Structure 1
């Protein structure tokens, strides 16, 4: 069972978080290590807030799940929480869960026709809106892989340090 830190915009993605928690708890998939409203005094300095998040919530988490909605990439602590999970002596896994209506706008579907691959796989290609909706560290993961691919115009989730999924999955 994974201890999962869920990073999200509390105002806009609370319903998605609640649904994921309900499904995860029913299936015994994970333990929720998220920050809830009221857990941390928001009047503290950002450095102090991040220290509390690292020491009390992320420290023993095995994965950071980022819920991606309309305003997630603009939220002040999202990238800091991702960074805190990925770096240090005990890095976590990273998963992005994109709200369905956002997922449909940030990707278009195509089929691989690259001659060196010719696999015919269904591919999700980022649209121009991808950059505005995906938090920076997840966005950088995607384009780092794109820059380093050598055999095909796509990669598997197992090649990435961050995977993204539609909220419906």
Structure 2
């Protein structure tokens, strides 16, 4: 079973995290290695927290599942988890990244970037598949995705999926396929790591 770390906004999106972890435990969609509230002392220095996340929680994971809600992209810990997942570190190896767009974003698009994903997840879709050309195109279509994720969706050397919640909510086999396939491509992904890590939580529109 693929080992996955679930990255999410603990204040807003816990019910969605609990649901996919229920799919994991009941149907074997993945093995959950996530951080729970209270597992890490928030009063520790930022560098220490980043090191704990990287070396203790991500070290055995093969995939990071990002639950994307309306505040996700502004959270520093989520950004640290994403960048740490993209790096071959001293202890942990780089992971695949799977993005699940939550209903709160009201986003209706998807990015089928994994091998076999179109046939496995969207067999009913008969329309023409389109490619986005510019960063602003991605930001318009996915207004709640972090810049780090968008940079890597644009990267031709990265295979990554952005899937709507509705496609996996009651479909553990689809979730398992996406997690397993994300893990399979992890070693070949050459992530764009140029963006500095976020140093504080800040929503400029709040």
* TM-score, structure 1 as length reference: 0.76
Determine if contact 2:70/2:104 at 8 Å carries over to the other structure: no
SS state of the match for residue 121, structure 1? coil
5 Å matches for 1:71-110? 71-89=71-89, 90-104=93-107, 107=109
Residue 57 of structure 1: how far off its partner (Å): 0.6
Question: Match for residue 166 of structure 1?
Answer: 164
Aligned CA distance change for structure 1 residues 81 and 68 (closer, same or farther; 3 Å): same
- SS of 1:9 mapped into structure 2: coil
2:145 matched residue in structure 1: 134
Greater relative contact order, per chain length (Cα 8 Å cut-off, separation 6+): 2
- Following superposition, the deviation at residue 49 of structure 1 comes to 0.4
The 1:84–1:75 alpha-carbon spacing in structure 2 relative to 1, beyond 3 Å, is same
| Larger Rg over CA atoms | 1
User: How many Å apart are 1:129 and its aligned residue?
Assistant: 5.9
Distance 1:122 1:103 in 2: 21
TM-score of the pair, normalised by structure 2 = 0.63
Partners of 1:55 and 1:77 lie apart in 2 by 14
- The Cα of 1:101 is off from its aligned counterpart by 3.8
Higher strand proportion, which one? 1
Q: What does 1:23-38 correspond to in 2, within 5 Å? A: 23-38=23-38
**Superposition RMSD in Å:** 2.3
**Structure 1 Cα separation of the partners of residues 102 and 148 of structure 2:** 18
Alpha-carbon spacing, 1:102–1:123, altered in 2? closer, same or farther (3 Å): farther
Gaps of 5+ in 1: 109-118, 146-158
Please give the per-residue CA displacement for 1:15-65, whole angstroms capped at 9, x wherever unaligned. Answer: 110010111211112111111000000011111001111111100101000
Q: How many residues align?
A: 144
Match of 2:154 among 120, 135, 143: 143
Tell me by how many angstroms 1:140 deviates. Answer: 0.6
Deviations 1:110-131 (A, max 9, x none): xxxxxxxxx953448646262x
Give the distance between the partners of 1:121 and 1:129, measured in 2 at CA.
17
SS in 2 for 1:4: strand
